[in-house]
Amino acid sequence: MWTVQKRDSQGQEIIAYPAQLLYRTANAVLLRAIWDRPPMETAFGRLETGDLWLETFYTDRWYNVFEIRAPDGQLKGRYCNITRPARITPGTISADDLALDLWVDPDGRATVLDEEEFDRLPLTPEERTAARRALEGLLEAPLACWEDPLPEEVVGHFLRERRLALAVAESCTGGLLSHRITNVPGSSDYYRGSVTAYANEVKERVLGVPPAVLAAHGAVSPETARAMAQGVRRLLGADLALAITGIAGPGGGTPQKPVGLTIIALAAPDGEWVEAYRWSGDRLTNKATSASAALALLRWYLVR
Every domain of the chain with CATH number 3.90.950.20 lies at 151-303
Whole-number pLDDT of residue 267? 98
Burial label for 121, CB within 10 Å (0-12, 13-18, 19+), is middle
CATH class held by domain 151-303? alpha beta
Q: Which fold has domain 2-147?
A: FomD barrel-like fold (2.40.380)
Every domain of the chain with CATH number 2.40.380.10 lies at 2-147
State whether residue 66 is helix, strand or coil. strand
- CB contact set of 175 (below 8 Å; sequence gap of 6+): 194, 196
Q: Are 220 and 263 in contact (CB under 8 A)?
A: yes
Q: Are 200 and 215 in contact (CB under 8 A)?
A: no
Whole-number pLDDT of residue 141? 86
> If residue 163 lies in a helix (H) or strand (E), which one and from where to where?
none
Report how far residue 188's alpha carbon sits from residue 166's, in angstroms, rounded to the nearest whole number. 10
Longest dimension (CA), the chain: 65
Q: Are 44 and 127 in contact (CB under 8 A)?
A: no
Report how far residue 55's alpha carbon sits from residue 164's, in angstroms, rounded to the nearest whole number. 24
Q: What is the pTM of this model?
A: 0.96
Question: In this structure, what is the dihedral angle of CA atoms 223, 109, 34, 90, given to the nearest 10 degrees?
Answer: 130
Instruction: Render each residue's pLDDT in the chain as its tens digit; 304 residues.
Output: 999 999 999 999 999 999 999 999 999 999 999 999 999 998 888 999 999 999 999 999 999 999 999 999 999 999 999 999 999 999 999 999 999 999 999 999 999 999 999 999 999 999 999 999 999 999 998 887 678 999 999 999 999 999 999 999 999 999 999 999 999 999 999 999 999 999 999 999 999 999 999 999 999 999 999 999 999 999 999 999 999 999 999 999 899 999 999 999 999 999 999 999 999 999 999 999 999 999 999 999 999 9
Whole-number pLDDT of residue 120? 96
Q: Are 167 and 235 in contact (CB under 8 A)?
A: yes
Report how far residue 219's alpha carbon sits from residue 200's, in angstroms, rounded to the nearest whole number. 7
> If residue 302 lies in a helix (H) or strand (E), which one and from where to where?
helix 283-303
Whole-number pLDDT of residue 144? 77
Report how far residue 241's alpha carbon sits from residue 232's, in angstroms, rounded to the nearest whole number. 7
Whole-number pLDDT of residue 116? 96
Closest CA to 280 of 81, 135, 104: 104
State whether residue 5 is helix, strand or coil. strand
- Pairing of β 191-196 and β 240-246: unpaired
